[in-house]
Amino acid sequence: MDNAIVTVKNLTHRFRLSKKTVIKAVDDISFTIQKGEIFGLVGESGSGKSTVARCIMNIYQPTAGEILFHDVNTCDKTAFRQNRKLLQTARQLIFQDSASSLNQRMKVADIIAEPMKINHITPPRGSYREEAAFQLRYVGMDENYLDKYPSEMSGGQRQRVAIARALSMEPELLVADEPIASLDVSIQAQIVNLFKHLQKEHGFSILFIAHDLAMVEYLCDRIGVMYRGKLVELAETAELFAHPLHPYTQMLLSAIPYPDPIRERNRPRMNTEDMIFDTEGTFREIRPNHFVLTKEAAL
Amino acid sequence: MTDQELFTQVGIREEKASAAAVKSKRSLPIFSIAVLVLIILGCLLADVIATKDPAYLDLMNYTKAPNGEFLFGTDTLGRDIFSCIWHGGRVSLFIGFFATLISTTIAVVYGSISGISSDWVDTAMMRVTEIFLSVPGLLVILFIQAILGDATVVSLSVVIGITSWYSIAKVIRTEVRQIRKSEYVIASQCMGGSFLHVLWHHLAPNFISAIMFMVVMNVRSAIASESTLSFMGMGLPLDVISWGSMLSLSERALMTKAWWIILIPGFFLVVLLVCLTNIGNWLRQTANRKESNL
Ligand SMILES: Nc1ncnc2c1ncn2[C@@H]1O[C@H](COP(=O)(O)OP(=O)(O)OP(=O)(O)O)[C@@H](O)[C@H]1O
Ligand SMILES: [Mg+2]
């Protein structure tokens, strides 16, 4: 396991809302992301996925635990300061809400070129504008959009601009917080294929956060399942889909629609709303490379 | 009533009147801008327009009513008021713009720092401005002026500037506080954007329209403050010609019934202030409209 690009150890993050109420958004989770891997993080709304992403990106300071990027402990203030340049260029985040992650008063060309300008990177393709046009084409949009403002574009186009901005830095690690949730199916496929391409051709490591299990199955090498701030199950994609061990994972998988009507109709359904799952127990390797949060030693 | 009459009453009511009212409110204050430009041009070209030396004391022709030679008459010291208006206007306008430059700079820096800082630093900084705000500005100006001693054009601008930034700073701080947690600011910081980068590219474009009218109003108040101070004899001395120091002769002028000595600089001053106010109000309305369009 020394090929890890990100190592998350016992990460806990609490939001203090007032003196008495504290929300445990992320509770003692550990996982690694390997170099060149697409790691999927799934879970219901409010399970703490975005909080994990933001801790990894140093937007939130974790309450406890540590996060290593290569060998740098990013939660440590002095280590962060010493490696600031590396951390700020080699990791890029695509925000969940593309509308608010783009400045409404800036044109697309300036938005995409912003990280390059901040980090004084000489654009490999001549000018910043050329570079922005290139990145825009890369995410499937044409140059006519360079002079548009975010408010003049659709949600899917904005999301692709946000992706283009992140890609312009050619990061080692791309943290994508539900990057395709607001896109229609054909664009979703296009973006997912783009991610696959980035991983294969350029060796990007990607933390991919999603609701949609079907896309995750196609895209990710390994998947972590989060439930109420806990990581309840972690396994390689094929293994997870073949042998879901945690009841919450089983429920999630049972909710995937299949394009086969007969199979779809005969399938047992579970009422997803009132189910409450155990978040007690320890994280154990039940099968090879398959970890589950459980109380018993064997399932 | 026939059916048709009934039906004609239904539908979208015409709103011609209100649309016209809105339009007149929104339209550019062309007249004010034109007058302002004329005054500024006149002051810049003072040497061309006003051929007489404004400082020359023509003791043969003091307190002369407006006539062919002295277009606006002369004051009690025998100075040509026409020349004094254009040359003195330079000083008044300079003080207005320079003091505003100082106050706006302080306000932007202070307001942004306060807006982007943690809660308690922000609270402390805002308390400080509230304390300053609660003290009448003129009093503070007089106090600092007394310490500094004899007023010069620059010192007066500085004093007016450092006593008139609080309200702009408060507005900036509120705007910054609203947008500093927005994701594009976080994104920019994540990519390595420094405080100055974020301020310049993300914060400033958002608060500039909100403070534009306050900046124009600040020019107006600075000019008014200078005039008030000089009029009271606590601003510029008589030999530094400005519209304010010209007005300070009014006391003597009134005794001699020389209305032109007081009315002419007073007229220019009022016209300038009214123009600035109109432009400021128009800017405020445009800013509000932009906000409601968002
Ligand atoms: N800034 C914040 N202040 C207080 N509580 C927060 C904050 N951000 C998130 N939370 C809380 O933390 C928990 C996890 O939130 P998070 O945004 O990580 O969920 P998520 O898994 O990303 O959900 P979604 O899929 O809807 O994006 C939620 O209960 C949320 O209410
Ligand atoms: Mg989220």
Look at residue A188 and tell me if it is in a domain.
no
State if residue A29 touches ligand 1 by the CB under 6 angstroms criterion.
no
Distance CA A20, CA A3 (A): 42
The candidate with the shortest Cα–Cα distance to A69, out of A120, A32, A43, is A32
Across A50-59, B47-56, B235-244, least confident range: B47-56
Structure tokens at A275: 């189910």
B59 touches chain A (CB under 8 A): no
Rounded to two decimals, the pTM is 0.76
Q: What's the mean per-residue pLDDT of chain B?
A: 81
How many C-beta atoms surround the C-beta of residue B10 within 10 A?
7
Q: B90, B218 in Cβ contact below 8 A?
A: no
What's the rounded mean pLDDT across residues B55-84?
A: 76
**A227 alpha-carbon distance from chain centroid:** 15
| Residue from the list B187, B193, B206 with its beta carbon closest to the beta carbon of A101 | B187
At residue B244, the pLDDT reads 83
Predicted confidence (pLDDT) at residue B56 exceeds the cutoff of 60:
yes
Strand A282-287 to strand A290-294: parallel, antiparallel, or no bridges (unpaired)?
Answer: antiparallel
Between B28 and B12, the more confident residue is: B28
A266 domain-assigned = yes
Give the number of other Cβ atoms within 10 Å of residue B19's Cβ: 10
**B183: chain A residues, CB-CB within 8 Å:** 95, 97, 100-101
Domain assignment present for A38:
yes
CB-based contact A118 B190, cutoff 8 Å: no
Neighbours of A202 (CB within 10 A): 12
Number of domains into which chain A is organized = 1
Residues written for chain B: 294
Name the CATH code of domain B31-57+76-293 (choices 1.10.3720.10, 3.40.1390.10, 1.10.10.10, 3.80.10.10): 1.10.3720.10
CA distance B248 to B254: 11
Judge whether residue B14 has pLDDT over 80: no
Domain range for residue A205? 4-98+173-181+197-294
Flag whether A253 is in a domain. Answer: yes
Lowest average pLDDT, out of A46-50, B77-81, B212-216, goes to: B77-81
**Tell me, what's the pLDDT at A93?**
92
Is the CB of residue A299 less than 8 Å from the CB of residue A244? Answer: no
Cα A82 to the center of its chain, rounded Å: 26
pLDDT of residue B292 exceeding 70:
no
Question: Token pair of B23, please?
Answer: 């339009």
Whether chain B has a CB inside 8 Å of the CB on A84: the answer is yes
As a whole number of angstroms, the distance between CA B92 and CA B98 comes to 10
- Residue A226, domain member (yes or no): yes
- In CATH, what number is assigned to the domain containing residue A37? 3.40.50.300
Residue in chain B lying closest to A55 (CA): B190
φ/ψ (deg, to 5) at A194: -60, -45
Is residue A231 one of the residues assigned to a domain?
yes
Which pLDDT belongs to residue B107?
Answer: 94
Q: Place B240 in a pLDDT band, splitting at 50, 70 and 90.
A: confident
- Of A68-82, B4-18, B38-52, B172-186, least confident by mean pLDDT is B4-18
Could you give phi then psi for residue A141, rounded to 5 degrees? Answer: -120, 155
CA distance B201 to B203: 6
**B289–chain A Cβ distance below 8 A for any pair:** no
**Is the predicted pLDDT of residue B53 greater than 90, yes or no?**
no
In degrees, rounded to 5, the angle at the alpha carbon of residue A8 between the alpha carbons of residues A87 and A202 is 50
Quickly list DSSP for A175-187: EEESTTTTS-HHH
Which residue, by CA, sits nearest to atom 3 of ligand 1? A15
In a domain, A229, yes or no: yes
Instruction: Identify whether the C-beta of residue A285 lies closer than 8 Å to the C-beta of residue A297.
Output: no
The low-confidence residues of chain A, meaning pLDDT below 50, are: none
Cα(A195)–Cα(A287) distance, integer angstroms: 29
Which residues, in sequence order, are bridge partners of residue A282? A294
pLDDT of residue B289: 67
Output the residue whose Cα is nearest ligand 1's atom 22: A50
Name the CA dihedral angle for B273, B279, B284, B288, rounded to a multiple of 10 degrees: 160
Ligand number with the minimum distance to the CA of A42: 1
Do the beta carbons of residue A187 and residue A197 sit within 8 Å?
A: no
Band (pLDDT 50/70/90 cuts) for residue B118 is: confident
The confidence score (pLDDT) of residue A71 equals 86
Q: Which residues of B195-208 are buried (b: 16+ CB within 10 A; e: fewer)?
A: eebbbebbbbebbe
ipTM of the complex: 0.83
Assess if residue A37 is contained within a domain: yes
Q: A49 CB under 6 A from ligand 1?
A: yes
Q: What's chain A's Rg over C-alpha atoms? A: 20
